[in-house]
Structure 1
Amino acid sequence: MAKLTRKHKEASAKVDRNKLYSVAEASALVKEITYVKFDASVDIAVRLGVDPRKANQMVRGVVTLPHGTGKDVKVLALVTPDKEAEAKAAGAEYVGLDEYLQKIKDGWTDVDVIITMPSVMGKLGPLGRILGPRGLMPNPKTGTVTMDVAKAVEEVKAGKIDFKVDKTGIVHASIGKASFSPEKIAGNAHELIQTLIKLKPTAAKGTYIKSIHLSSTMSPGVPVDPKAV
Structure 2
Amino acid sequence: MKRGKKYIEAAKLIDRGTLYDAADAVSLVKKVAVAKFDETVEAHIRLGVDGRHADQQVRGAVVLPHGTGKTVKVLVFAKGDKVAEAEAAGADFVGGDELIPKIQNEGWLDFDVVVATPDMMGVVGRLGRVLGPKGLMPNPKAGTVTMDVAKAIQDIKAGKIEYRLDKTNIIHVPVGKVSFSQEQLSENFETLMGAIIKAKPAAAKGQYLRSVTLSSTMGPGVKVSTTKLG
Q: TM-score, normalised by structure 1?
A: 0.96
Distance in 2 (CA, whole Å) between partners of 1:142 and 1:175 is 17
Identity of aligned residues (%): 54
Q: Tell me if the contact between 1:64 and 1:161 (Cα under 8 Å) persists in the aligned partners.
A: yes
Q: How many residues align?
A: 228
Q: Counterpart of 1:101 in structure 2: which amino acid?
A: I
**1:146 alignment partner in structure 2:** 146
Q: Note the alpha carbon deviations across 1:176-222, whole angstroms, 9 max, x for none.
A: 11111111111111111111111111221111101100001110000
Map 1:71-150 to 2 at 5 A.
71-106=70-105, 107-150=107-150
Q: Tell me if the contact between 1:81 and 1:96 (Cα under 8 Å) persists in the aligned partners.
A: no
Three-state SS of the structure 1 residue aligned to 2:132 is helix
**1:190 alignment partner in structure 2:** 190
Distance in 1 (CA, whole Å) between partners of 2:50 and 2:140 is 24
Three-state SS of the structure 2 residue aligned to 1:36 is coil
Distance in 2 (CA, whole Å) between partners of 1:144 and 1:153 is 9
Q: Counterpart of 1:27 in structure 2: which amino acid?
A: V
The structure whose residues are more often helix, as a share, is: 1
Distance in 2 (CA, whole Å) between partners of 1:123 and 1:99 is 10
**2:22 alignment partner in structure 1:** 23
Distance in 1 (CA, whole Å) between partners of 2:110 and 2:79 is 21
Q: Tell me if the contact between 1:27 and 1:183 (Cα under 8 Å) persists in the aligned partners.
A: no
**2:202 alignment partner in structure 1:** 202
Distance in 1 (CA, whole Å) between partners of 2:157 and 2:187 is 18
Distance in 2 (CA, whole Å) between partners of 1:151 and 1:12 is 42
Give the drift of 1:170.
0.8
Distance in 2 (CA, whole Å) between partners of 1:61 and 1:183 is 24
Q: Note the alpha carbon deviations across 1:23-55, whole angstroms, 9 max, x for none.
A: 111111111110111111110001111111111
Q: Counterpart of 1:84 in structure 2: which amino acid?
A: V
Give the drift of 1:101.
2.3
Q: Tell me if the contact between 2:74 and 2:93 (Cα under 8 Å) persists in the aligned partners.
A: yes
Q: Tell me if the contact between 1:66 and 1:187 (Cα under 8 Å) persists in the aligned partners.
A: yes
Give the drift of 1:137.
0.8
**1:51 alignment partner in structure 2:** 50
Q: Counterpart of 1:171 in structure 2: which amino acid?
A: I
1:227 to 2:222 alignment: no
Three-state SS of the structure 1 residue aligned to 2:98 is helix
**1:163 alignment partner in structure 2:** 163
Q: Counterpart of 1:154 in structure 2: which amino acid?
A: Q
CA RMSD, Structure 1 to Structure 2 (Å): 1.4
**1:213 alignment partner in structure 2:** 213
Distance in 2 (CA, whole Å) between partners of 1:206 and 1:124 is 38
Q: Note the alpha carbon deviations across 1:86-106, whole angstroms, 9 max, x for none.
A: 211211111222332221122
Give the drift of 1:131.
0.5
Which runs of no fewer than 5 residues in structure 1 stay unpaired? none
Q: TM-score, normalised by structure 2?
A: 0.95
Which runs of no fewer than 5 residues in structure 2 stay unpaired? none
